[in-house]
């Protein structure tokens, strides 16, 4: 049981390049989330998904797109990277059962630098 995994762990992009971050969970969780972590700002929600084929915007969605084609995977895309997107990105997943949200389980993070 690997929990939540993220690929890649580190990446350096040039301004204007694109990339996709992959999040995978093996806990059969319905909900998945993408956060970014910046110094002094805690974690902020980018997008989330309440189930396969669904996505919704979080607090800071601009410049990002997401897809959830399979229940276990949640992809975060940057179409045209900007230096302001330099951050550490965390994926999380949680169960939703009988009207109650379970705790969120976090991946180890992806450190992205945009030059």
Partner 1 sequence: GNSVTQMEGPVTLSEEAFLTINCTYTATGYPSLFWYVQYPGEGLQLLLKATKADDKGSNKGFEATYRKETTSFHLEKGSVQVSDSAVYFCALRYNQGGKLIFGQGTELSVKP
Residues forming contacts to partner 1 in the complex (CB under 8 A) are: 4, 31, 33, 40-45, 48, 50, 56, 58, 90, 92, 94, 96, 101, 103-104, 106-109
How many CA atoms, within 13 angstroms, populate the side-chain half-sphere of residue 104? 15
Report the length, in residues, of the chain.
Answer: 115
CB of 104 to partner 1, least distance (A): 6
* Secondary structure, 3-state, 27-40: CCCCEEEEEEECCC
Of 10 and 84, CB closest to partner 1 = 10
Rounded to whole angstroms, the Cα distance separating 77 from 34 reads 11
CB of 42 to partner 1, least distance (A): 4
CB of 44 to partner 1, least distance (A): 8
Of 12 and 50, CB closest to partner 1 = 50
CA 86 to chain centre: 14
């Amino acid at each position: 049981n690997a929990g939540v995994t993220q690929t890649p762990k580190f990446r350096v992009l040039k301004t204007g390049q694109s990339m996709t971050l992959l999040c995978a969970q093996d806990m059969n969780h319905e909900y998945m989330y993408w956060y970014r972590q910046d110094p002094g700002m805690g974690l902020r929600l980018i997008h989330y998904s309440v189930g396969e084929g669904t996505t919704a915007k979080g607090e800071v969605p601009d410049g990002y797109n997401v897809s959830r084609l399979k229940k276990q995977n949640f992809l975060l895309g940057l179409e045209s990277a900007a230096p302001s997107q330099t951050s550490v990105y965390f994926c999380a997943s949680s169960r939703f059962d009988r009207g109650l949200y379970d705790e969120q389980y976090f991946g180890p993070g992806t450190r992205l630098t945009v030059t």
